[in-house]
Amino acid sequence: MAAQLSPGDTIGILGGGQLGRMLAMAAARLGLKTHIFCPDADSPAFDVAAAKTIAPYKNESALQAFAETVDVVTYEFENVPARTADLLAALRPVRPGPAALAVSQDRLTEKDFLTDLGIATAPYRGVEDAGALARAVGELGRPSILKTRRFGYDGKGQVMIREGSDLGAVFRGLGGTPSILEGVVPFIKEISVIAARSLDGEFAAYDVTENVHANHILSVSRAPAKIDAACAVAAVATAKKIADALDYIGVLAVELFVTKEPDDGRLVQKIRVNETAPRVHNSGHWTLDGAPCSQFEQHIRAIAGWPLGATRHHGAAVEMRNLIGDDVNAWPDILREPGACLHLYGKAEARPGRKMGHVTRVLDRDE
């Protein structure tokens, strides 16, 4: 199997949501085909791909048949079962590799990995049972946040522990599964770094992005983030350290908290990593209209073994707003607005909390 793809080759993508859809569109622009593997028959990515497989992620014969039709395998979500990744990796290059999946699937493994690299995170403790939770709360104090180690997203699988919280009930409420307790980071901003590392180890990062969440779901991203220059440099250096440590190939997202902490008698901005994602990320959607090479193209270039593209943002700043649930009904007005770039994901039903699309605006002034 060639390390480097040629136009006409096929990329296999596990997952058929909007991220898979936008990856497939970026691949098509570069003359590459995509084959989407997803259990859901009405996956948005199927509309724009050359081939599809509808099967569970653990269906080994379907995975085998899928692998035989593709030149490289990637994924749009981090909860790919380890056995699935291993089975595919024995047949085709899987990029990013299984190490990146292992780290990002488990919040405790991830925090230990970051700590070993000397990267600051929230204070944390592994929690196996209710007794360990009581000890951890004794050490980290209240408020603190209990999160399941695996399968959490958009605020799901996490609970705030406050004064008076019944720890046994909280632990059972999260399913009694292995969890992690985190101290609350008094952040002033949430930022992310969308970066990429190529087969040759070349590294590139987009401008650091500032993110605002509503109801635990990303609402607005804006680049460049309004943070101190030294803080932005440190955030990008952190992403590079993570990518190099994982011998990473593809786009990597790193979400961080910015705090103000005393240092030598002054208050300075510091960063702590919240979590990483071994994939393209919602906070990088602004790059579709706001940078010469979008995060989707960048990921395709990296996993194809091609050189990385340019990342500097257009205009003075770029803003991206998610269209969540009924927000999507504003699409006719957005279409009429000069300079607003509308992206719809082709999802039939606008359920509350569901990401239906997004709109990007390249701004002339960074107000």
Comparing CB distances to ligand AMP, the nearer of 276 and 298 is: 276
Cis peptide before 186 (omega within 30 of 0): no
Rounded to the nearest whole angstrom, what is the least distance from the CB of residue 257 to ligand AMP in the complex?
Answer: 7
Measured over the CA atoms of residue 217, residue 221, residue 226 and residue 228, the dihedral's sign is positive
Comparing CB distances to ligand AMP, the nearer of 182 and 210 is: 182
Comparing CB distances to ligand AMP, the nearer of 182 and 289 is: 182
The residue from 106, 110, 190, 289 that contacts ligand AMP (CB under 6 A) is 190
Footprint of ligand AMP on 205-234 (CB under 6 A): 213, 216
Instruction: Give one DSSP letter per residue of 182-244, joined into a string.
Output: EEPP--SEEEEEEEEE-TT--EEEPPPEEEEEETTEEEEEEES-SS-HHHHHHHHHHHHHHHH
- Per CB under 6 A, 162 contacts ligand AMP: no
Q: Which residues pair with 257 in a beta bridge?
A: 190, 272
The residue from 48, 51, 132, 184 that contacts ligand AMP (CB under 6 A) is 184
The residue from 71, 76, 78, 182 that contacts ligand AMP (CB under 6 A) is 182
- Per CB under 6 A, 185 contacts ligand AMP: yes
97: three-class secondary structure by DSSP: coil
| DSSP structure class, residue 47 | G
CA torsion 300-35-52-24 (nearest 10°) is: 20
Rounded to the nearest whole angstrom, what is the least distance from the CB of residue 364 to ligand AMP in the complex?
Answer: 30
Binding mask 273-302 for ligand AMP (x = CB under 6 A): -xx---------------------------
The count of residues interacting with ligand AMP (CB under 6 A) is 12
Comparing CB distances to ligand AMP, the nearer of 190 and 327 is: 190
| DSSP structure class, residue 275 | E
Binding mask 78-117 for ligand AMP (x = CB under 6 A): ----------------------------------------
Nearest to 191 by CA among 82, 294, 315, 275: 275
| Apex 313 CA angle, 312 and 314, nearest 5 | 125
Q: How far apart are CA 13 and CA 56, in angstroms?
A: 14
Comparing CB distances to ligand AMP, the nearer of 214 and 233 is: 214
- Per CB under 6 A, 327 contacts ligand AMP: no
Contact segment (CB under 6 A) with ligand AMP among 93-101, 130-138, 182-190, 330-338 equals: 182-190
Cis peptide before 96 (omega within 30 of 0): yes
Question: 78: how many CB neighbours lie within 10 A of its CB?
Answer: 22
Rounded to the nearest whole angstrom, what is the least distance from the CB of residue 8 to ligand AMP in the complex?
Answer: 39
Comparing CB distances to ligand AMP, the nearer of 152 and 346 is: 152
Cis peptide before 224 (omega within 30 of 0): yes
Rounded to the nearest whole angstrom, what is the least distance from the CB of residue 153 to ligand AMP in the complex?
Answer: 6
Comparing CB distances to ligand AMP, the nearer of 34 and 148 is: 148
Q: How far apart are CA 123 and CA 73, in angstroms?
A: 35
The residue from 155, 176, 339, 353 that contacts ligand AMP (CB under 6 A) is 155
Element (H, E) at 263: strand 250-263
CA torsion 233-153-185-239 (nearest 10°) is: -20
Q: Which two tokens stand for residue 326?
A: 């009924």
- Per CB under 6 A, 145 contacts ligand AMP: yes
Contact segment (CB under 6 A) with ligand AMP among 8-16, 181-189, 233-241, 309-317 equals: 181-189
The residue from 67, 73, 122, 193 that contacts ligand AMP (CB under 6 A) is 122
Residues contacting residue 118 through CB under 8 Å, at least 6 positions apart = none
Contact segment (CB under 6 A) with ligand AMP among 68-76, 184-192, 320-328, 346-354 equals: 184-192
Residues of this chain that interact with ligand AMP (CB under 6 A) are: 122, 145, 152, 155, 182, 184-185, 190, 213, 216, 274-275
